[in-house]
C-alpha cells in the first residue's frame, strides 16, 4: 500500500486522541476503532493528498478527523437502527447501552473538530462541518422514508448521498485542499469521492440481501427486517405485480414478517434482477469516479485510487 | 433588557439557520427552540461581548452557535435520560422518537460548527469545540456515577463542570474573544461563566427535589427516579445513619422504589439540611462569579450580568 506509513501514523493519532480521563470513552471507542474497520475514509484523504502532490504531514490529522466523524455516525447509527451486529461483532450499543453510544459519539465528533481547529485551515473546517450537517440530514431522511414503499429513487439517492457519499466526498476534497490545489482539482477530487461513495452504498445495500454474515460482518437481511427502503427493494417493488407489492407493503411498511419472508424477498429480487441492477448502477458510478481522476497525470497514486473503486465494486461478487 | 435587540437578532438567526429541506429537522428543532427556553447561554455571550465593549454584530452569530450546541445536548440528554418532560412539555424524544432526536441533535451540532466557521475565528472554534468535548465527557461521567452512592463530591463537581458549566464558561469567554480583549479579561469572563454554571446546576439539582412541576417545567423527582447521584443525595447519604444509607442504596443503586419513597427522600434531605446546603454552595459559587467581574469598570452591562447571577440563585426560593 502506497500510503502505508501515513495510515500507520493516522492509526497512532486516532488511538492517541480518543483518550480521555473518563475511561469508558476510550474503552467504547476502541471497541469500534481498534476492532479495525477498513479505514476506507481516512485512506481516501491520505491517498487524495498524495495524488495531489502533498508532501507534508497535515493530511494525517485530517484523515483522523474523517475517521472520528465516521465512527461517531456509526455509534449514533447503531443506536437509531437498534443493530445487533457491527463489523461482525456485537454493536457498541448492545454492549455498552444506547446512552453511552450517543455520548461517546458526541465526544468523538467534538474531538474531530478539535483536531481540525489545531490544523487551522478554515476551508477544511467548512468542508467537514458542512459534510457533518449533510450526513445528519441524510440519516433523518432515511428515517422518514423507512417503511414507506412510495419512496422514490430520487429520495433514495438523496439519502445515500447524505448518509454515506457526503463524507467520502469531503474526505477526498480535503486531501486536495491540504495540497493547496486549484479549485478545479478540488472539485475533481470531491466528485471522485461523491461518486465512489454512492457506488459504495449501492453495493452495501445489495450485499445486505446477498452476503453471508461472515463476509459482510453484519447480519443478512437487517435492512429487510427494519423496513429500510433501499434500491433493491424499490426495483423489486416497481417491477412486481399486485401480489408482490402487497408482500412488500406487509413486510416493509407494516413490518409484519414471518420466517419465510426474507427468503421470499430474495426470490422476488432475483426474479426482477433487482440485485444485479443495483450492482450495475454501482458500476456506473464507479466509472464516473474513475473519470473524475482523468485530469490527474498517471501515477502510482492515481492507480491506487482507481483500485479502490474496483475494490468497492468487486465486494459485490 | 440591555441586549434585547441582540437577543431578537439571535432568535431570528436561530430560526433561520435551523432550516433544512428535510422538514422533520426544523419541526423537531422548533419544538425545543421555539418553545422558548430561557436563552440563558446566548444571553451570556451577548452580554459578555457588550460588557467587553464590543460594538459589532458577530456576537449574535456566536450566541446562536452556543444555543445550537445547548439544544443538541438537550436532545441527546433527553434520549439518554428517557425523560418524559422537558420545559413542561413532552420531550422531543417522546414525541418524535429517540432516533430523530439523536440525528437532529447531530444536525444542530454540525450547524453550530458551520456558523462558527462562517465567523472564521479560530480561537472561538477552539473554545467551543473543546467545550463540546468536555460536555460529552461530563455526560459520560454522569452515566458512570449514576446509581452509585459511593460517588464522591469531587466526582459530582466534575460531572456538573462538564455537563453544564463548560458551556457557560465557553459562552462568556467567546464574548470576550470577539471583543478582542486581553487574555486576563478573557480568563475573567471564562471564570464568571464557569462559576455561574456550577451555581446554576447546583440550584437545578436542588430544585429537582423541591420545585413544583409547573415552576420548574419538568417532573419533580426525575433525578430520584433515575438514581442520579446529585449533591442533595450525596449530602443526605453522608449525613445519614445506617438505615438511611440502606434506603438510598435500595432506591438509588438498586432502583427499587415504592410510592412513598420520594416523600421519604425529601424528609431525609430536610432532616440533614441537604437542600439548604446545596443552595448555600450555589450561593458561594455565585459570589465567585460576581468577584470575577471585579476587574471590569462599573457599567449597566456589568450590573446586568450580576443580576443574572442573582436570578440563577433566586430560582431556588
Read off the pLDDT of residues A187-199 as tens digits, 9 standing for 90 and up: 999 999 999 999 9
Contact A113 B104 (CB under 8 A): no
Kindly give the residue spans of alpha helices, DSSP state H, lying in B52-151: 58-81, 92-96, 98-119, 122-145
A21, A102, A133 ranked by CB distance to B110: nearest: A133
Distance in angstroms (rounded) separating the CA atoms of residues B134 and B155: 14
Q: Are B122 and A117 in contact (CB under 8 A)?
A: yes
Task: With a cut of 70, say whether residue A76 has pLDDT above it.
Answer: yes
Interface of B with A in 115-144 (CB under 8 A): 116-117, 120, 122, 125-126, 129-130, 132-133, 135-137, 139-141, 143-144
Distance in angstroms (rounded) separating the CA atoms of residues B61 and B120: 11
Q: Scan for cell 502532490, then name that residue.
A: A53
Q: If we measure between CA atoms, which residue out of A27, A103, A105 comes closest to residue A71?
A: A105
Q: Are B17 and B110 in contact (CB under 8 A)?
A: no
Q: Per-residue confidence at A61, pLDDT binned at 50, 70, 90?
A: very high
Contact B76 A106 (CB under 8 A): yes
Cell of A137: 440530514
Q: Which residues of A touch B125 (CB under 8 A)?
A: 113, 117, 125
Shortest CA gap A122–chain B (Å): 7
Share of chain A above pLDDT 70, in %: 90
Distance in angstroms (rounded) separating the CA atoms of residues A149 and A268: 15
Q: Are B84 and B219 in contact (CB under 8 A)?
A: yes
In chain B, the largest separation of any two C-alpha atoms, in whole Å, equals 60
Distance in angstroms (rounded) separating the CA atoms of residues A213 and A126: 38
Q: Are A195 and A167 in contact (CB under 8 A)?
A: no
Q: Per-residue confidence at B86, pLDDT binned at 50, 70, 90?
A: very low
Q: Are B112 and B100 in contact (CB under 8 A)?
A: no
| Exposed e or buried b per residue across A170-181, where buried means at least 16 C-beta atoms within 10 angstroms of its C-beta | bbbbbbbbbbeb
Say what the pLDDT of residue B83 is: 42
Q: If we measure between CA atoms, which residue out of B227, B225, B247 comes closest to residue B236?
A: B247
Q: Which residues of A touch B122 (CB under 8 A)?
A: 117, 120, 122
Interface of B with A in 137-176 (CB under 8 A): 137, 139-141, 143-144
Q: How far is CA B44 from the centre of its chain?
A: 12
DSSP A70-122: HHHHHHHHHHHHT-SEETTEE-HHHHH-HHHHHHHHHHHHHHHHHHHHHHT-H
Contact B125 A113 (CB under 8 A): yes
First to last CA, chain A: 23
Q: Per-residue confidence at B89, pLDDT binned at 50, 70, 90?
A: low
Say what the pLDDT of residue B93 is: 62
Q: What is the arithmetic mean of pLDDT over A263-271?
A: 95
Task: With a cut of 50, say whether residue A81 has pLDDT above it.
Answer: no
Contact A110 B100 (CB under 8 A): no
B119-166 pLDDT, tens digit each: 999 999 999 999 999 999 999 999 999 999 999 999 999 999 999 999
More confident residue, B90 or B48: B48
More confident residue, A27 or B288: B288
Q: Scan for cell 423541591, then name that residue.
A: B210
Q: A166-170, B89-93, B218-222 — which is least confidently predicted?
A: B89-93
Say what the pLDDT of residue A85 is: 40
φ/ψ bin of B181: left (φ > 0), alpha (ψ from -120 to 50), beta (otherwise)? beta
Shortest CA gap B228–chain A (Å): 14
Contact B126 A117 (CB under 8 A): yes
Q: Scan for cell 440591555, then name that residue.
A: B2
Say what the pLDDT of residue B100 is: 87
Q: Which residues of B touch A107 (CB under 8 A)?
A: 133, 136-137, 140
CA within 13 Å, CB half, B310: 6
| Exposed e or buried b per residue across B276-288, where buried means at least 16 C-beta atoms within 10 angstroms of its C-beta | ebbbebbeebbeb
Cell of B161: 463542570
Q: A244-258, B10-24, B27-41 — which is least confidently predicted?
A: B27-41
User: Does the ipTM exceed 0.85?
Assistant: yes
Say what the pLDDT of residue B82 is: 43
Interface of B with A in 11-30 (CB under 8 A): 20-22, 24-25
Say what the pLDDT of residue B215 is: 58
Q: Per-residue confidence at A156, pLDDT binned at 50, 70, 90?
A: very high
Cell of A179: 495540497
Domain A4-314 architecture: Orthogonal Bundle (1.10)
Contact A99 B107 (CB under 8 A): no
Share of chain A above pLDDT 90, in %: 81
Say what the pLDDT of residue A267 is: 94
Interface contacts A/B by beta carbons within 8 Å: 133
Distance in angstroms (rounded) separating the CA atoms of residues A289 and A284: 9
> What backbone torsions phi and psi does residue A150 show, to the nearest 5 degrees?
-85, 0
B240-257 pLDDT, tens digit each: 999 999 999 999 999 999
Task: With a cut of 90, say whether residue B220 has pLDDT above it.
Answer: no
Q: A94-98, B82-86, B142-146 — which is least confidently predicted?
A: B82-86
Give Cβ neighbours of residue B166 (< 8 Å, ≥ 6 apart): B131, B134, B135, B138, B194, B197
Shortest CA gap B302–chain A (Å): 32
Q: Is B224 on the interface with A (CB under 8 A)?
A: no
Task: With a cut of 90, say whether residue A112 has pLDDT above it.
Answer: yes
Task: With a cut of 80, say whether residue B72 has pLDDT above it.
Answer: yes
A25, A114, A136 ranked by CB distance to B106: nearest: A136
A4-46 pLDDT, tens digit each: 999 999 999 999 999 999 999 999 888 877 666 789 999 999 9
Amino acid at each position: 500500500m502506497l500510503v502505508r506509513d501515513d495510515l500507520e501514523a493516522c492509526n497512532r493519532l486516532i488511538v492517541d486522541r480518543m483518550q480521555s480521563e473518563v475511561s469508558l470513552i476510550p474503552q467504547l471507542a476502541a471497541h469500534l476503532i481498534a476492532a479495525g474497520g477498513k479505514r476506507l475514509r481516512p485512506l481516501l484523504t491520505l491517498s487524495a493528498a498524495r495524488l495531489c502532490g502533498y508532501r507534508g504531514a497535515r493530511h494525517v490529522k485530517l484523515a483522523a478527523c474523517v475517521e472520528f466523524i465516521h465512527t461517531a455516525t456509526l455509534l449514533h447509527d447503531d443506536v437509531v437502527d437498534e443493530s445487533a451486529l457491527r463489523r461482525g461483532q456485537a454493536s457498541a450499543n448492545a454492549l455498552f447501552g444506547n446512552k453511552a453510544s450517543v455520548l461517546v459519539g458526541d465526544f468523538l465528533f467534538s474531538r474531530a473538530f478539535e483536531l481540525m481547529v489545531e490544523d487551522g485551515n478554515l476551508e477544511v473546517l467548512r468542508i467537514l462541518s458542512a459534510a457533518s450537517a449533510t450526513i445528519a440530514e441524510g440519516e433523518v431522511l432515511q428515517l422518514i422514508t423507512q417503511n414507506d414503499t412510495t419512496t422514490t429513487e430520487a429520495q433514495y439517492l438523496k439519502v445515500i448521498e447524505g448518509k454515506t457519499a457526503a463524507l467520502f466526498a469531503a474526505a477526498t476534497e480535503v486531501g486536495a485542499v491540504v495540497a493547496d490545489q486549484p479549485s478545479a482539482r478540488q472539485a475533481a477530487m470531491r466528485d471522485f469521492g461523491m461518486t465512489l461513495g454512492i457506488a459504495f452504498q449501492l453495493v452495501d445495500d445489495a450485499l445486505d440481501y446477498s452476503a453471508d454474515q461472515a463476509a459482510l460482518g453484519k447480519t443478512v437481511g437487517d435492512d429487510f427486517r427494519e423496513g429500510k427502503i433501499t434500491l433493491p427493494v424499490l426495483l423489486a417493488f416497481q417491477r412486481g405485480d399486485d401480489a408482490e407489492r402487497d408482500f412488500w407493503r406487509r413486510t416493509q411498511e407494516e413490518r409484519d414478517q414471518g420466517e419465510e419472508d426474507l427468503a421470499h424477498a430474495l426470490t422476488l429480487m432475483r426474479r426482477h434482477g433487482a440485485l444485479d441492477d443495483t450492482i450495475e448502477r454501482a458500476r456506473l458510478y464507479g466509472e464516473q469516479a474513475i473519470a473524475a481522476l482523468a485530469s490527474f497525470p498517471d501515477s502510482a497514486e492515481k492507480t491506487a485510487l482507481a483500485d479502490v473503486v474496483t475494490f468497492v465494486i468487486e465486494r459485490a461478487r
